[in-house]
Structure 1
C-alpha cells in the first residue's frame, strides 16, 4: 500500500524507503502548483524506492509523468537519488543550491582512485589504525564507485529568493552545516489549519524532531580550505529559529510544531557535547581517539566500518569548532595531529 499523507493546502507527502538504513524512509513532499506538482526531494535511487514513489504519487492523485519540477534540499542520495529518473520520465527541472551542485559535479568528474587515496590520507592524518585504512588502499584500482553518478541539476536555488512555483510562495533559506549547500524551504502561506506562526518549513535534514543530523567535514580532494561545518550549522539553526514557522515538515520521522523550541534543544545539545569533548581532551587525543571515546548510539566496538569513518568526520567537525573558539588547540609536533583542551 502506498504511504501518502495529505497535509492540507496543496501539500502531500510520500514515504520512500531507504534500503538497509535505520532512518527507514525519506518523506518526499508533493507541492501543488499552477503548472503541476513539484517534489521536495525524491528519495534513494533503488527499485523499491522508485516503486514507492510512483505508487505514492498515484495515491496523491498524480503521477511521475506530471511532475513539473524537483527541489532538492541537499545532495545526499536519500534526497537526490531519484531526481534524474523523475526528470527522465517527466521532463521536470531539478533545482539545487550551487554549493551542493558543485559537489555533484565533482563526484561525477573525480576518478574513484582519487577518492580512495584522498580518504585513506585523511583517515591516516586523523590517526586511524592501519586495519581501517587498508581496505581503502586496496580499493584504489577500482574503476567505479557506487553513488558517484548523481544527476546534475539544471536550476540553481538562490538563497532568499522565491522559487519559480506559480501560485505558491516558496522561499529558499540557506542552511549550511549538514552539507555546504543545504537549503530549507519556507512556504510563506497561512497554515491550512490556521496554526499560529509564519507558514510552513520544509526542513530537509537541517531540523528533525527527535534526532540530530550528522555534521561532518565538507570533503573536497582539491580544496584545502579549513571549513567550520558545525559553526555553519549552529548559525543556520538560529536563522531558522527566527523564522518561527507554524509547522515543520522534515525529510525524516514526522511533522512537528515549535521549531524555535527544537532549535533551542539542538543548540543546547551541541554546547553540551562540546563541553563533554573538552573533558576528554584533558589528555591529547587524535580525532580517531576522540571518536572512540565519544558517546554514540552504540558502543564503538559495535559500530560498523563505514559508520566509523562518518564518526571520525563528526569528531573532526567538533574539534574544528573548539579550535576556532579557542577552547582547544593542536599539540605542536604531534604526528598524527593530536588536540588538547586550551
Structure 2
C-alpha cells in the first residue's frame, strides 16, 4: 500500500521505495494544476517502485495517465528513473536543467566500456590500490552498465523562470553541487498553514533535514575541466537561505521549516570537514589515503566497494576546494599525485 501525505494547498507526496538502499524512499510530490497533476521527481526505475507510484497517485485522487508534466530536480536514478514510464503512460512532458540533461545524453551515448575505463583511470590516479581498480579493468568487456538509459527530457528548466504549471507559480532555482544541474523549485504561493516565510521549496537532495548530501566530482569522460562542486554547493546553500521559505519539502526524510538554520548547520559541517582534512594533510596524502582517514558513518574497513568510490570522490571535491582557497597544494612530481597543506 502506498504511503501518501497531504501537505495542503494542492500538494501531496508519495513515498516511492528505492530498492536495497538505506535512504528507503524518494518523496515524489504531486502538485495540482489547472491541466492536471505535475510530479516533482518520479522515483527509482523498478517494478515495485512503479506500482507504488501508480497506487499513490490513485490514493491522491488522480492516476498516472492524468499526469501533465514531470519536473526533475536532478538526473540521479532515484529522482529521474521512472520519468520515461510516466511519460509513456500519460504523454507528459519531462523537464530537466541543461547541465543534467547533458549528463543524461552522455550516459546514453557513451559505451559502457568507456565508463569502466574512465572510472579505473580516475581511481588509479587517486591512488587506489590495484586490488580495488582491477575489477573495473576486468569489467571493460561488459556491454551493460546500470543507469545508462535515462529518459531524455523534452524541456529545459531555465533558472529564474516560472515552469509550465497552469494556475500555479513554481520558479526554478539553480542549486549546483550535488549535481551540476540540480534545481530547487520555489512555490511562490502563500503557505496554506500560514507560517511565516516565502512560500514552499521543493529542495530535491540539496537541502535535507538530517542528511548531508553527497558532494563528489562531476564525472565526464570527455571533459577535463577542473570543477569545484563543493564551492558550487556552498554558494547554492546561501542562495537558498536568502529565499527564506516557510517550509522545505525535500526528496528524502520529511518536510521541515527553518531553511536558514539548516543551511547554517550544513555550512558549519563542511567548514569543520575542510579543517579536519587540512589537519590530515600535514603529511602528503593521495585522495585515496585521505578518504581512508576521513570520518564516515562507519569504519573504512566496513565500507562496501561502491561506497568507497563515492567516498574518494567526496574527498577529491573537498581537496579541490582547499586547493582553490590556497590552503592545500599538490606535491610536484608525485605519482599518483599527493596533496599537502600549503
**TM-score (structure 1 length as normaliser):** 1.00
C-alpha displacement at 1:146, in angstroms? 1.2
The answer to whether residue 121 in structure 2 is matched with residue 121 in structure 1 is yes
C-alpha displacement at 1:169, in angstroms? 0.2
Match for residue 56 of structure 2?
A: 56
C-alpha displacement at 1:207, in angstroms? 0.1
3-state DSSP of counterpart to 1:16: strand
Report Cα offsets for 1:147-189 as digits up to 9, x if no partner. 1000000000000000011000000000000000000000000
Distance 1:72 1:164 in 2: 13
Matches within 5 A, 1:263-342: 263-342=263-342
Count of aligned positions: 342
The answer to whether residue 139 in structure 2 is matched with residue 139 in structure 1 is yes
Distance 2:168 2:32 in 1: 8
Report Cα offsets for 1:279-333 as digits up to 9, x if no partner. 0000000000000000000000000000000000000000000000000000011
The answer to whether residue 83 in structure 2 is matched with residue 86 in structure 1 is no
3-state DSSP of counterpart to 2:96: strand
Report Cα offsets for 1:47-92 as digits up to 9, x if no partner. 1100110010010000000000000000000000000000000000
Distance 2:318 2:146 in 1: 28
C-alpha displacement at 1:218, in angstroms? 0.2
C-alpha displacement at 1:143, in angstroms? 1.1
Match for residue 196 of structure 1?
A: 196
RMSD after superposition: 0.3
Distance 1:111 1:164 in 2: 35
The answer to whether residue 18 in structure 2 is matched with residue 18 in structure 1 is yes
**TM-score (structure 2 length as normaliser):** 1.00
Following TM superposition, where does structure 1 have runs of at least 4 consecutive aligned residues deviating by more than 4 angstroms? Answer: none
Distance 1:86 1:72 in 2: 12
C-alpha displacement at 1:2, in angstroms? 1.5
The answer to whether residue 25 in structure 2 is matched with residue 39 in structure 1 is no
The answer to whether residue 220 in structure 2 is matched with residue 240 in structure 1 is no
Match for residue 156 of structure 1?
A: 156
Unaligned stretches of 5+ in structure 1?
none
C-alpha displacement at 1:223, in angstroms? 0.3
Distance 2:325 2:147 in 1: 35
Distance 2:147 2:259 in 1: 32
Distance 2:164 2:84 in 1: 19
C-alpha displacement at 1:34, in angstroms? 0.3
Match for residue 250 of structure 1?
A: 250
